[in-house]
Amino acid sequence: MDQELESTKRRFGIIGNSPQLNHAIHVASQVAPTDMTVLITGESGSGKESFSKIIHHLSARKHGQFIAINCGAIPEGTIDSELFGHEKGSFTGAHEARKGYFEVTNGGTIFLDEIGEMPLGTQARLLRVLENGEFIKVGSSKVLKTDVRVVAATNVNLLHAVEKGKFREDLYYRLNTVPIYVPPLRERGEDVELLFRKFSSDFSEKYRTKPIKLANDAKLILLRYRFPGNIRQLKNLAEQMTVLEMEREIHADALMKYLPQESSNLPALTTGEKHSSETFSDRELLYKVLFDMRHDMTELKKMLLDLLRGEHAPTSILNTHKDFFQGLEPMENLATKATELPMVIEQSSRPQSNVNSIINLNSENTDEYEKIEDISHEIAEDNLSIEKKEKELIIKALSKNKNKRKYAAQDLGISERTLYRKIKQYEIDGV
């Protein structure tokens, strides 16, 4: 099985070893010998067309024609003519009869990319092809037959398009006979570095220059970046740096010049259309609360540091908890004169919750430290309210998608694995 998988990767130039990617390749290889219709889903730039080629070239139709069509790039007024052909004089400008793609590729495979952009009228025509292998040219009444395998792809949630009346439900279930999910680059872990090295090597050969390589600090940034443009964006990044960078070893500061700063560290919303104003508002509100809390934590650290720098502050606290105050100011600038006082620090099990520490000092500073403790309790309560809100959003997404984790995860803008962990964490029943 592993040998077949690696052979398929080499043949079609697929780089990576992530479990989700391997699973998608395995499904494509298994379904290829059949004539079943396949629906490939995934974000823009994640490599969906490569899977359509796997399906075609490993099938009995491999000697037939393969045509890839972007449904979103063809105007609505001409798409029927492009797909099914037209007769002479059927519309203005139709000076002669024309064969459509379904007639030309008889015995082969058609890859319909961005199927969610197809007009409803054309969807009805496509459904007839899938059901009976029949179609009618524009301006004709003669029924023609075709033997074409259809592989479709989309980067939007078709179920939501069905709910909004933008996509036919019967066509959706006819296309979705075998679903294949292509993971985005941010869910593929170390594959990012492998792909970058491959692209760097290809472009160094193309431009006849020495390949660039990433220093360790640059690798960490590359692996943390979310790549909204996926493989297409990574490939462009490698090409830009190959041509523009004079140094062949790329460090973090050089890499950051090519990454859009506004999106590198922000949580990613789902790349599909905004499913409803209510869902979007809930998620946006949650992110805002999280960022506000992070800001409050920084302010609280500064307040605590100012108190500890007073003349009665114990040096041992500053020395013991340097990591807690890291980034506020150089540690050598902290108070050097202090009186050693007894203290008890209780650390919470919650990550980065040193702010909940309880510091017992002498009675002179009791009021001030009680204020800090009150603020800490308020933040702890905010944490609980965020967890409650997150649990409500997860339950809402699961209910909306009839407990299908894949679509619920896409709604929430998280991976399916993260959703599974959250379900276990919050002990959500009925899933």
State pLDDT tens for residues 170-189. Answer: 999 999 999 999 999 999 99
Rounded to the nearest angstrom, the gap between the alpha carbon of residue 89 and the centroid of all alpha carbons in its chain is: 47
DSSP-derived 3-state class of residue 40: strand
Token digits for 347?
């650390």
pLDDT number for residue 362:
43
- 84 touches 125 (CB < 8 A): yes
Give yes or no for residue 338 having a pLDDT over 80: no
- 186 touches 226 (CB < 8 A): yes
pLDDT number for residue 195:
96
User: Could you tell me if residue 269 is left (phi over 0), alpha (psi between -120 and 50 degrees) or otherwise beta?
Assistant: beta
Place of tokens 């004089």: 89
Angle at 153 between CA 152 and CA 156, to 5 degrees: 135
Neighbours of 400 (CB within 10 A): 18
Q: pLDDT category, 25, cuts 50, 70, 90?
A: very high
Q: What percent of the chain shows pLDDT beyond 90?
A: 57
Closest CA to 125 of 105, 109, 101: 101
Token digits for 51?
């899977």
Nearby residues of 174 by Cβ (< 8 Å), 6 or more positions away:
37, 127, 130, 131
Give CATH 1.10.8.60 domain extents, the chain. 188-264
pLDDT number for residue 425:
83
Buried b / exposed e along 271-284 (16+ C-beta atoms within 10 A): bbeebeeebeebbe
Q: What is the mean pLDDT of residues 296-318?
A: 64
Residue 243, CA distances (Å) to 206, 368, 387 in order: 10, 58, 47
CATH no., domain 2-183: 3.40.50.300
Nearby residues of 223 by Cβ (< 8 Å), 6 or more positions away:
189, 190, 192, 193
Instruction: List, in sequence order, every beta strand (DSSP E) within 202-256.
Output: 213-214, 249-250
Give CATH 3.40.50.300 domain extents, the chain. 2-183
Instruction: Give the CA dihedral 401, 402, 404, 405, nearest 10 degrees.
Output: 70
Query: 66 has which bridge partners?
Result: 109
Higher pLDDT, 398 or 132: 132
Nearby residues of 384 by Cβ (< 8 Å), 6 or more positions away:
none
pLDDT number for residue 93:
84
State pLDDT tens for residues 345-368. Answer: 333 334 444 444 434 444 444 554
State pLDDT tens for residues 249-296. Answer: 999 999 999 998 644 344 444 444 444 433 444 555 565 566 667 666
- 137 touches 96 (CB < 8 A): no
Query: 143 has which bridge partners?
Result: 136
Closest CA to 187 of 103, 69, 271, 295: 271
Q: How crowded is the C-beta side of 41, counted as CA atoms within 13 Å?
A: 18
CATH no., domain 188-264: 1.10.8.60
| Cα 196 to Cα 23: distance, rounded to the nearest angstrom | 22
Give yes or no for residue 396 having a pLDDT over 70: yes
Q: What is the DSSP letter of 165?
A: T
| Cα 150 to Cα 83: distance, rounded to the nearest angstrom | 12
Long-range residue pairs from 274-279, CB within 8 A, at least 24 positions apart, any chain:
275/157, 275/160, 275/411, 279/396, 279/397, 279/411
Pairing of strands 143-145, 134-136: antiparallel
State pLDDT tens for residues 142-166. Answer: 999 999 999 999 999 999 999 999 9
Q: pLDDT category, 111, cuts 50, 70, 90?
A: very high
Angle at 407 between CA 37 and CA 178, to 5 degrees: 15
Q: What spatial distance separates the first Cα and last Cα of the chain, rounded to whole Å?
A: 32
* Burial tier of 61 (Cβ tally within 10 Å: 0-12, 13-18, 19+): buried
